[in-house]
Amino acid sequence: MNLTSNVANQVQLKNTSKTAKFFKEVRKQKFLLLLMLPGMIWYIFFKYLPLLGLSLAFTDYGFRPKVSFIGLENFKRLFSSTSFLIAFKNTLIISFLNIVFYFPLPIILALLMNELVSLKIKRAVQFVVYIPYFFSWVIVGSVFATMLSPSSGIVNEVIKAFGYDPVFFMADPRWFRIILVGSYIWRNVGYGTVIYVATLSTVDSTLYDAATVDGAGYWGKMLNVTLPGIRSTIATMLLLNISHVLNVFEQVLVMYNAAVYSVSDVLMTYSFREGLLNSNIGYAISISLFTSVISLILVMGTNKFSEKFLDESIL
């Protein structure tokens, strides 16, 4: 009995010491925790609490006055809907184009900026490429609509100066995806560039000296020192880009119109119209749930790819 009592007392003391240590660390880091508090509250209210509404994807909420459970009927309707299939195809195409044409650019710009000797010029270039990131998509959409206006846009003024008819870029399905990709790159490339520039500053300079001694040239240093030095950041940025691959919404919502629905309507805008404009909330939530599941699969697959080819596991 004494032995059992001693063991129980030791376990209790150990748990008490762990608890005391935890609260001591909390008191020690209280100001940092207070700084984190607004962000944590935002995530709880806007990211986690809405998850409780996922069960509505299995109901006819918003379609009838009395809500009833309908099982997988919304998903059956989803996969038999031509509008959904078009939106899904457009989402994949636009997201794929964004990743293919956007992802390498911040790396290339960061490598070029890293070669600038003048600190003033480097800061000026950083400012120029980074400032569009602070513009909302409403402003970006307005800028591109003004530039590409068939009546007064600077692009069409140049086209007319060469004797050609103006092009209705924003209402032409042949051009609209290119405009979406171009505006996405213009707004976001600076954000990625700044991250890579900051990472490049952490690469050990003695590695470059060692590479020089070994006879490595510019490209040899880049392939064997620079790129391996930012490999983990590349893997992280790839995962972040893939995680948002299907969540194309605000940019398209601001810039598209009925004339280009066939090439620009994506899952989130389709869900928006069904949920808020047509009041079919349950069906709209089923679209969002499908999008989230596919995004999770893509993220897990990207992590496996990164683990195998970049030797970096993010998750």
CA distance 200 to 272: 41
Strand partners, 59: 69
Q: Note the pTM of the prediction, 2 decimals.
A: 0.81
Map residue 61 onto helix, strand or coil: strand
- The pLDDT assigned to 314 comes to 65
297's enclosing H/E stretch is helix 281-309
Residue 185: Cβ within 10 Å count: 18
> What is the pLDDT at residue 242?
83
CB neighbourhood size of 188 (10 A): 19
Q: What is residue 306's predicted lDDT score, i.e. its pLDDT?
A: 74
Phi, psi of 69 (to 5 degrees): -75, 125
Give the chain's domains with CATH numbers.
73-309 (1.10.3720.10)
Segments of 19-124 assigned E as strands: none
β partners of residue 64: 61
Radius of gyration of the chain (CA): 26
In this structure, what DSSP letter does residue 47 have?
A: I
Which pLDDT score is estimated for 189? 92
Q: Give the pLDDT confidence score for residue 180 in this predicted structure.
A: 93
Q: Which residue has the tokens 């195809």?
A: 89
Look up tokens 């897990």; give the residue.
300
Q: Distance between CA 174 and CA 285 in Å, rounded?
A: 31
- Torsion angle of the four alpha carbons 154, 159, 164, 169, in this order, in degrees rounded to the nearest 10: -70
Over its length of 315 residues, how does the chain's per-residue pLDDT go in tens digits? Answer: 454 555 455 555 555 667 777 778 878 888 888 888 888 899 888 888 888 888 888 888 876 667 788 888 889 988 898 989 999 999 999 988 988 899 999 999 998 888 887 888 888 888 888 999 999 999 999 999 999 998 888 999 999 888 888 989 999 999 999 999 999 999 999 999 999 998 888 888 888 888 888 888 878 888 888 888 888 888 888 888 887 778 888 899 999 888 898 898 999 999 988 888 888 888 888 988 888 888 888 888 887 877 777 666 666
In angstroms, the CA 62 to CA 65 distance is: 7
